[in-house]
A and B are shown apart, each in its own frame.
Chain A
Amino acid sequence: MSLKFMSLLLGCMSTTALMAAAAHAADSSGPRPGLLLSQVDGAAQSAPFDLKAPLQSKAGTKPASTGGPPLMSADRQTASSTARPIRDLNAKVDESALRFYASQNDSARVAMEIKRIKVLNPAWEPPSDLFDEAGDPAVEQKLWDLFSEGRYDEIRVAVENIRHADPNWRPPEKLVREFDRAQVRAQLIAASDAKDAHGVLAIAESQPDMLVCTDVDSMWRVAEALIQTTQEDKAQELYRYILTQCPNPSERLATVQKAMELLPVQAVRTLMTAARHRSDNGSVLEAVQLDLLRRQIGAVASDASATPVPPADLKIFETLVKQKRMSNDAALLGWQYYALKSWPLAAEWFKLAMDWDKLPKAAEGYALALRQQGQIAEAEAVAYEWRNASPLIAKLFVEIVATAITQANPTSLEEARLARVEDVVSATRSVNGSQALGWYYYNKTNFPKSRQWFASSVGWEATETNTLGLALAAHRMNDNALFRKTVSDYGKQYASVGALVAYDKPTTKSAKSAKGSRVATRGGGGSPQAGQLANAAVEQFKNGQYREALATLDKRAAATREDQGLGVIRGWALYHLNQYDKAREKFAELDKQQSTRDTQYGLYYSGAKLDPLHRGD
């Protein structure tokens, strides 16, 4: 009950104290019993940040404080100059012993010393400030101790106890004010922690003397609340106030860093210009500027359409990076150029970063940049070398190889290269890699190997592609049990697998006819001319002359009907000319007439539109 009463009491007193303090500031001519206050209270050196003041023009970097501080300092000067005459008179008297005794609260010796000095200097007047202000230093110190430990409830109790015995006693004004401020501050922090930006601002506005340099943390929180309520300009003003008014260099640095997290780059640059007017922390700000540049470069790296870094700044940064061999920054530059599709520059920076420090990220970037330049073999070599440094690089390696071997017309891989791919695929349990190997062996008509890789792939993670591959490989090996199981397990889920049901009538003929190359070599059609045209188209296709092959096929189709073998060739020719939709259309048409592994295979690839730049599983 009385606790509540005390808080009310303190509340009332603090208001009075605040009013008194305000009256003080306004009336500089009056007596200043609170002189001690203004000496102790360092916060009085700057006017608090005015949250309600209209925004200053953006061009000016004038400090946010206005007439307040100069007025105060002028006032102080007047006070000391009026005090001077008496002190001059006393100048020749050595008061050191006197002050020492007073500091010991040794009144007996003080009184004797005064008596002694007065005998020698009758005109001398003892100083009036020998002892501390008449307050009650012991109890006040106790209250301050509690205050500094944040034991606010105990302060209330202590004040209540004293006032119980002596209702006229008042806690020191400064304590009441600080107590009040601490309470409000606690509220502000609570609102800030609860992300209640409007609450934070309401509290800060109700307590105008809160935004001062002794409490930079509160100002940071208010700035954040301003940004959350889309008052970036005001937040920028507040940051500027800290940077130009507050004395603690590390707090100013932290302020720039906070601003960097929350404000656009351009706003931060403006702030840093303001901060640079203070020469004391130039080197620290340099580091901040580097951070700012890094942030800009990073923005471009993750989104090529972001505001480009000014070339001059970039040049300075690059020079510094090379000078100091900053590998992380080199990698950052690599990613920036990668995003900008400047592959050679990207590769160059990644390479530097790799050379300076064995950074897996840089190696990954380097391999990617090489691949983008078409240096597939080099990319594969780098990725293989670094495969154990990071799972991402191992994945990249598999991907590079998988792309190479799943081309419609793959070249054979030498034994060693194949073996190392298989090792990495097994080690990384790569779904994509294993199904690529499945198709590779399928195309090489090594069906046991094909079945083995598809089985592994399905075991790691079933996809339409690897289940389809597994069913087809099983079919080609006449492993009917596996074929049926695969179709029944995945047929409902994947339509292309379900369509294979048609295969489940083993006709030796169709099996035989499908045997051999998936590229049909039958002449088809009656006339010898049609036969010649068919042979020519196949030859052209094999030579990679896809357009020519298509023209030949068209010529032939005008004369006679195109069989499935030539239809498949047409589909792949379209595919290689990047006409995926047409290719898919063709494969679908053929598949409708008669679904074979050739039509299925074609459907899959044309549907997936696998292209050499395609990344990821």
Chain B
Amino acid sequence: MVRRTGMALAMLIAAAVLPLGANAASLGSERAQGTGGLSANWLETAWSAYKKRFVRAGRVIDDVNRISHSEGQGYAMLIAVKAGDRAAFEEIWQWTKRELYIDPSGLAAWKWDDSAASKVTDKNNASDGDILIAWALAEAAERWGSLQHREAARDIVRAVGKQNIASSPVGTILMPGRIGFSPEDHPDGQILNLSYWVFPAFERFAALDSDTDWADVQATGLKLLRESRFGPLRLPADWISIGSGRPAPAESFPAKFSYNAIRIPLYLTWAKLNQPELLRPFVGLWNNELNLGPFEVDLSSGSAQQPFGGIGFKAVIASAKCALHKQRLNEPLLKVETDSYYATTLHILSLVALQERYPECL
């Protein structure tokens, strides 16, 4: 039962997005002459459209999976605070607190399903959701000087530290959830998800919670990432196991580079790691000249599978190309078009990351 929970969470994201090929057309063209970067209020505009499409009274809706989840709440809170929309931020946070933080663990229930009678049917958490929410709260505390946001952030970070952080033979690890990923649950040992290491968030966490060595957590993540280069394309799997002492694609999951791991280059670009070279395996996933990819990849053969559905995934790769090669963003990616929840989220966040870290690419 416990194990099924973990599986369900994983498969949900993996199966997520339908290709939206029509929107992805003609991205390969070169930047038009005379245009210069993002418009001044691009984020407000994009956020306004995002709210209209995905946010209902503080609840963020994953339109493809037709549910809400802690990850979505966290992403939306992060965009809201970056856009300076305190009212919306407050509304989303209050909903999240009320509907998801219902367990004494102090961690958010990962899924909220409007179609289910009890809404929350599984109180297990997804650690990336809690991390994103805490990060957004910490950003809010700084932006608005709000103590209650800081305290809320601290409480969540501590709860994650207590219940999702563990030591292991490979170092201090971040478990994907409270339940269902431990060595007892899987023959190939502890299961991890490298895209749950939200590297840019860890920079804030050290100041909030001294009980957990967040630098150590980060170091383990980078080490595992460096060792998780599977198959001919040297890409990480969405889910890995570390039972053998070295990471391997987790046996209970498809050995694929897919909708989880696609976020890894975004976090690497955004965080102050001084290691753009970690991005090398990712930057070729989208050939911007041919507008080819990015694809989900079968890791054992290195064979291309379905293209990721949505412009936002190209934006993620483009931001990585910027971080590694100082390559400027392709013109069409400067405008956030209507897309699915996940693709739109990653598109906006890629642009925010570039604005903060590599404005010269915009």
Contact = CB atoms under 8 A, between A and B. Distances in A.
Interface residues of B, number: 41
Contacts of B84: none
Interface stretch (A6-14, A107-115, A185-193): A107-115
A114 B324 CA distance: 25
A109 B292 contact: yes
A370 B167 CA distance: 98
Given A165-B273, A166-B273, A111 B295 contact: yes
A124 to B, nearest CB: 9
B219 A168 contact: yes
B245 to A, nearest CB: 14
Interface in A133-186: 134, 136-140, 161-162, 164-169
Contacts of B303: 111, 114-115, 118
A104 B234 contact: no
Contacts of A130: 232-233, 302
B275 A112 contact: no
A122 to B, nearest CB: 10
Given A138-B276, A168-B222, A108 B232 contact: no
Nearest to B224: A168
A112 B296 CA distance: 11
B270 to A, nearest CB: 13
Contacts of A112: 292-293, 295, 304
A498 interface: no
B33 interface: no
Contacts of B215: 167
B315 interface: no
Contacts of B41: none
A68 B215 CA distance: 45
Interface stretch (B142-150, B188-196, B277-285, B331-339): B277-285
A248 interface: no
Contact of A104 (B275, B276, B284): B284
A321 B133 CA distance: 93
Contacts of A109: 287, 290, 292
A137 B304 contact: no
Interface string A95-123: 00000000011111111101100100000
A108 B303 CA distance: 10
B89 interface: no
Contacts of B328: none
Given A131-B234, A134-B226, A169-B226, A108 B304 contact: yes
Interface residues of A, number: 32
Given A108-B286, A165-B274, A138 B293 contact: no
Contacts of B274: 161-162, 164-165
A597 B287 CA distance: 113
Given A107-B284, A112-B304, A136 B278 contact: yes
A126 B273 CA distance: 33
Contacts of B280: 105, 136-138
A131 B281 contact: yes
Given A106-B284, A134-B229, A166-B219, A111 B293 contact: yes
A127 interface: yes
Nearest to B232: A126
A128 interface: yes
B357 interface: no
A393 to B, nearest CB: 73
Contacts of A138: 276-277, 280, 324
B275 A110 contact: no
A463 to B, nearest CB: 82
A181 B273 CA distance: 29
Interface of A: 104-112, 114-115, 118, 125-128, 130-131, 134, 136-140, 161-162, 164-169
Smallest CB-CB A-B distances: 9 pairs: A108-B293, A107-B284, A111-B304, A136-B277, A168-B223, A138-B277, A166-B222, A108-B287, A134-B229
Given A114-B301, A137-B277, A165-B275, 16 more contacts: A104-B284, A105-B280, A107-B233, A108-B293, A108-B294, A109-B290, A110-B284, A111-B297, A111-B302, A112-B293, A136-B277, A136-B280, A138-B276, A166-B275, A167-B219, A169-B223
